[in-house]
Amino acid sequence: MNARILTTATLFATLAGAFTASAADSQLLSLVMPDAKVIAGVNLDSAKSSTFGIYLISQLQANAAALQQLVTLTGFDPTRDLHEILAATNAVGVGAHTGIALARGNFDVAKITALATLSGALTETYSGVTIIEDPKQAGGAAFLDATLVVAGDIPAVKAAIDRPHSGQSLPSSVVALVNQWSSLEDAWVVTTVPPYTLTPPSGVPSVPGLGANAQGIFQKILGAGAGVKFGTTVVLTVQATADSAQDATTLVQTLQLLVNIAQMQTGTNPNPNLTALLQGLSISAKGATLGITVSLPEAQIQQLVQHSGKAAQMVVRPRVVRKK
């Protein structure tokens, strides 16, 4: 597929966190593996009318030719046809790739399948469902109907296809946690296990004032969730549950120390974006719950996106060497 089309689709998926939320789609949630360790979601519909959502859509539509080519080849317009994304994994450790991504939208399955096979993809029929697979058959995608697609490694996709008939589902406590975050935030992520268990233990960089037990401090976190709410002010919220109220207080003190160090560094080498981030940061503890909020004006988020785009262009722009 044309590289510009892929760039357009990738940009939309990457920036999808900008589009907002209501409670997670229960059918998508029912397809998630029951032992999921990390679950994340984005509801795309409500933010299409938000200031930031309109801005991001305009960035996609600025490359109208590539977007139109994507629509022509697949019958799929990501600015119109994608409604919700849900992703989950039960893998632990660096290099683990077991997981699924689910999307609710409007899909022209025949067109998408034809284009994929024309581009070298393989197909396999499993329990009456066609799985479109990469040539190495490591990953694939399956349309369960014209509004629902599941993608991931092949065993995970097949397990999701089987799940409605297996009687297996997420624990009610995890469903309640997902519903809590997804009904309040536009984009969100939760862990069902202590965050430090998600990757193999490794040395924590030495930070002045934290001492040798820095890693042990953060191992006090039993579970965590985070979400983003878009509006005139963009608000990032993080909540972590610690072993005890004392541990939560210790975590607050540790994070505040890191903030103080960052503030001292900005004093000697001012960075407007970092300064604004620190000014909008709040860290607190209530009982055993650690809370972090970061608030930034929506206009400044646009500036950050524009700055990131320019930086990316500079990285990929070929260097012209003139002959003397």
Complete DSSP assignment for 112-135:
HHHHHHHTT-EEEEETTEEEEE-T
Instruction: Say if residue 312's pLDDT is above 60.
Output: no
Rounded average pLDDT over 128-138: 94
pLDDT (tens digit per residue) in 21-47: 468 999 999 999 999 999 999 888 776
Evaluate whether 63 touches 78 at the Cβ level (below 8 Å).
no
Establish how many alpha carbons lie within 13 A of residue 82's alpha carbon, considering only the half-sphere containing its beta carbon. 24
**Among 28-42, 141-155, 202-216, 242-256, where is mean pLDDT lowest?**
202-216
Rounded average pLDDT over 185-201: 83
Cα–Cα distance between 74 and 12 in angstroms, integer?
15
Instruction: Look at residue 12 in the predicted model and tell me its pLDDT.
Output: 39
Q: Which residue has the higher pLDDT, 299 or 268?
A: 299
Instruction: Look at residue 134 in the predicted model and tell me its pLDDT.
Output: 93
Confidence of residue 260 (pLDDT cuts 50, 70, 90): confident
Establish how many alpha carbons lie within 13 A of residue 206's alpha carbon, considering only the half-sphere containing its beta carbon. 3
Evaluate whether 58 touches 218 at the Cβ level (below 8 Å).
no
CB atoms within 10 A of CB 267: 9
Cα–Cα distance between 85 and 70 in angstroms, integer?
19
Q: Which helix (H) or strand (E) holds 160?
A: helix 154-166
Instruction: Look at residue 147 in the predicted model and tell me its pLDDT.
Output: 96
Helix, strand and coil percent figures for the chain, each rounded to 5: 45, 25, 30
Residue whose pair of structure tokens reads 């953060």 in the numeric block:
218
Cα–Cα distance between 312 and 314 in angstroms, integer?
5
Cα–Cα distance between 129 and 122 in angstroms, integer?
14
Instruction: Say if residue 204's pLDDT is above 50.
Output: no
Q: Which helix (H) or strand (E) holds 265?
A: helix 245-268
Rounded average pLDDT over 260-265: 79
Amino acid at site 206? S
pLDDT (tens digit per residue) in 135-184: 999 999 999 999 999 999 999 999 999 999 988 899 999 999 999 999 99
Establish how many alpha carbons lie within 13 A of residue 75's alpha carbon, considering only the half-sphere containing its beta carbon. 13
Mean residue pLDDT of the chain comes to 80
Cα–Cα distance between 260 and 270 in angstroms, integer?
14
Cα–Cα distance between 196 and 220 in angstroms, integer?
9
Instruction: Look at residue 145 in the predicted model and tell me its pLDDT.
Output: 96
